[in-house]
Amino acid sequence: MAHIPELTILQPADKEQIDLPRTSEDELAVGKKRLYIESYGCQMNFADSEIVAAVMRNAGFATTSSAEEADLIFLNTCAIRDNAEQKVRNRLKHLTGLKRQKPELLVGMLGCMAERLKTKLLEEEKVVDIVAGPDAYRDIPKLVEEAESGQKAVNVFLSREETYADISPIRLNSNGVTAFVSIMRGCDNMCSFCVVPFTRGRERSRDPHSIVREAQDLFDQGYREVTLLGQNVDSYKWQGRSDGSAEGMGHGVDSSTQPSAITTFANLLEMVAQIHPDLRVRFSTSHPKDITDDVLHTMARYENICNYIHLPAQSGNSRVLKLMNRTYDREWYVGKIDRIREILGEDCGISTDMISGFCTETEDEHEESLSLMDYVHYDYAYMFAYSERPGTLAAKKYADDIPEDVKKRRLNEIIAKQLTHSAERNQRHIGQVQRVLIEGPSKRSDDFLCGRNDQNKMVVFPKGNLQKGQYVNVLVTECTSATLRGEVV
């Protein structure tokens, strides 16, 4: 699953966020029906919601930031953990009341939870009128028409070709400075704990020229940072054939039939970085088995490719990693960390995912996860207790045999360890001048602005006469485990 770090240490309950389009971005809806979208889970879902908004605008809908004003409400859902699904179900209870007041209101479920449950969702949640999987977004206007006629409408077909490369996303809840650009869809990594391959389908890459065009258009509109998104960006691969056509390649695609040029992720990174030196480039998520020295050397060559990598470990024990089907062991992962430090330096920001209490995990194996954290000193992390997901390989093959209180205790130890490391990593910046891209006002005070540095850390500083979208140099004077503070110099 594609995780974009939120610049703080995320507690387990903080992962699923709700995307609320800003009131200032509501479109004029004279004679139009209104669409309201909430997004849960990973940033891939947030990016998908922007595609859905574009599709629906072409179908005559305007967007609104108010569920009460909407004629159509979509929940773009996550299925990575049971907690994510329960949040959506709780939200549906509220929408049931709203629908009683407004019987013509239509409610649709999109994304991974919709794909996992399919028509069963319509039986379990009577308020739902439309169910659409991640590859069915072009079909949503037709599904809406069916629902308007009183039918329940479903499309959960998974495609091996769909990338939505020709659709220009509508930037919901945008700060006008940073944006996400999807470069691929699906996942071929069958991690035993993960439902994503079953809800998002096989891996396929998007035409690099369409990616560069989207990033160029964003820069021309005033955006100054793009994050390239994929479940596993390092396996991005595009084959341009000699007949002038091209195809996105997943694992197992036979590329030997015609002469071709291959665009790798390192190539794509360079293409986007060359758009303009003032366009920052980030990416997520990397997989330890696929990240290459070519990617690291490309990052080192271009100052506008941010010095930050999200490299999920999941566990620090080789036996558990094998059960997880991560296809690497502890030694391999440590080797990748060493190469990152060697090529990009000790200041390169590194974050991770860590799961506590996976099937059969012993206390000694949990300690190995803690010792891996001590070795790496991650800047921040996404940390979860293992949550069995129906249909996954782990659910079929292994007993979820670690008691919940043990999972929670181990998770708390992981969180405490990470808080210490985050504080230590942030203290390295005190006394340093950091180049910061201003994203907008600080959450706590309009007298302060905030933005991220090269290592993806949030920096807060007095507003002065500065504006969002500017680059500024900030002398860091203090820090917490989540934030840097300083003065513009």
Q: Where are the beta strands (DSSP E) in 51-103?
A: 61-63, 72-77
Can you tell me the mean pLDDT for 341-354?
98
Other residues' Cβ atoms within 10 Å of the Cβ of residue 325: 15
Confirm if 297 and 269 have CB atoms less than 8 A apart.
no
3-state secondary structure at position 258: coil
Can you tell me the mean pLDDT for 443-469?
96
Do 422 and 483 share a domain, yes or no? Answer: no
Cα 424 to Cα 479: distance, rounded to the nearest angstrom: 10
Q: Token pair for residue 298? A: 């490309």
* Residue numbering of the annotated binding site: 42, 78, 112, 187, 191, 194
Which of 412, 428, 444 is the last residue before a domain boundary? 428
| Encoded amino acid at 62, one letter | A
Can you tell me the mean pLDDT for 298-317?
98
- 168, part of any domain: no
Do 111 and 218 share a domain, yes or no? Answer: no
CA distances from 297 to 9, 292, 293, 335 (A): 28, 9, 6, 16
- 160, part of any domain: no
CA dihedral (155, 157, 162, 163) in degrees, to 10, reads 70
Per DSSP, what are the bridge partners of residue 262? Answer: 239
* pLDDT exceeds cutoff 70 at 4: no
Which of 390, 413, 428 is the last residue before a domain boundary? 428
pLDDT given for residue 257 in this prediction: 38
Do 104 and 22 share a domain, yes or no? Answer: yes
Cα 39 to Cα 71: distance, rounded to the nearest angstrom: 17
Confirm if 238 and 165 have CB atoms less than 8 A apart.
no
Do 289 and 371 share a domain, yes or no? Answer: no
Can you tell me the mean pLDDT for 455-461?
97
Confirm if 351 and 310 have CB atoms less than 8 A apart.
yes
Do 225 and 352 share a domain, yes or no? Answer: no
- 375, part of any domain: yes
In a 10 Å sphere around its CB, with 0-12 CB exposed, 13-18 middle and 19+ buried, how is residue 243 labelled? exposed
* pLDDT exceeds cutoff 50 at 160: yes
How much of the chain, in percent, has pLDDT values that exceed 70?
A: 90
Other residues' Cβ atoms within 10 Å of the Cβ of residue 443: 11
180-202 pLDDT, tens digit per residue, is 999 999 999 999 999 999 999 99
Can you tell me the mean pLDDT for 262-281?
98
User: Given the structure tokens 């007298």, which residue do they identify?
Assistant: 447
Do 75 and 188 share a domain, yes or no? Answer: no
CATH number of the domain encompassing residue 219: 3.30.750.210
- 250, part of any domain: no
CA of residue 59 relative to chain centroid, distance: 27
- Phi/psi of residue 105, nearest 5 degrees: -60, 135
* pLDDT exceeds cutoff 70 at 51: yes
Q: Token pair for residue 71? A: 């004629």
pLDDT confidence band for 2 (50 / 70 / 90): very low
Do 446 and 402 share a domain, yes or no? Answer: no
CATH number of the domain encompassing residue 466: 2.40.50
Can you tell me the mean pLDDT for 359-382?
98
- 66, part of any domain: yes
Can you tell me the mean pLDDT for 92-120?
96
Other residues' Cβ atoms within 10 Å of the Cβ of residue 13: 8
* Residue numbering of the annotated binding site for [4Fe-4S] cluster: 42, 78, 112, 187, 191, 194
Residue 71 belongs to what domain range?
12-155
Do 100 and 179 share a domain, yes or no? Answer: no
CA distances from 276 to 72, 283, 356, 466 (A): 39, 17, 42, 22
pLDDT confidence band for 3 (50 / 70 / 90): very low
Antiparallel, parallel or unpaired: β 260-264 and 237-241: antiparallel
CA distances from 320 to 15, 220, 399, 417 (A): 23, 47, 13, 20
pLDDT given for residue 28 in this prediction: 57
CATH number of the domain encompassing residue 335: 3.30.750.200
- 1, part of any domain: no
357-368 pLDDT, tens digit per residue, is 999 999 999 999
Do 281 and 395 share a domain, yes or no? Answer: no
pLDDT given for residue 29 in this prediction: 55
How much of the chain, in percent, has pLDDT values that exceed 90?
A: 87
Cα 238 to Cα 226: distance, rounded to the nearest angstrom: 20
pLDDT given for residue 224 in this prediction: 98
- Percent helix, strand, coil in the chain, to 5, is 35, 25, 40
Smallest Cα–Cα separation from 52: which of 122, 109, 121? 109
pLDDT given for residue 196 in this prediction: 95
322-347 pLDDT, tens digit per residue, is 999 999 999 999 999 999 999 999 99
Smallest Cα–Cα separation from 125: which of 73, 201, 198, 55? 73
In a 10 Å sphere around its CB, with 0-12 CB exposed, 13-18 middle and 19+ buried, how is residue 436 labelled? buried
Q: Token pair for residue 196? A: 């994503």
Count of domains for the chain: 4
pLDDT confidence band for 23 (50 / 70 / 90): very low
What is the helix (H) or strand (E) element at residue 227, kind and residue range? strand 225-229
What is the helix (H) or strand (E) element at residue 488, kind and residue range? strand 483-488
Do 299 and 315 share a domain, yes or no? Answer: no
Do 131 and 200 share a domain, yes or no? Answer: no
pTM value is 0.90
Confirm if 321 and 267 have CB atoms less than 8 A apart.
no
pLDDT given for residue 240 in this prediction: 77
pLDDT given for residue 32 in this prediction: 86
pLDDT given for residue 31 in this prediction: 60
* pLDDT exceeds cutoff 90 at 254: no
CA distances from 327 to 81, 197, 287, 466 (A): 22, 16, 10, 48
234-244 pLDDT, tens digit per residue, is 999 999 753 34
Do 324 and 292 share a domain, yes or no? Answer: no
- 419, part of any domain: yes
What is the helix (H) or strand (E) element at residue 382, kind and residue range? strand 380-385
- 253, part of any domain: no
What's the chain's Rg over C-alpha atoms?
Answer: 22
Q: Is the peptide bond before 362 cis (omega within 30 degrees of 0)?
A: no
CATH number of the domain encompassing residue 84: 3.40.50.12160
Confirm if 166 and 213 have CB atoms less than 8 A apart.
no
Per DSSP, what are the bridge partners of residue 248? Answer: 238
Other residues' Cβ atoms within 10 Å of the Cβ of residue 390: 12
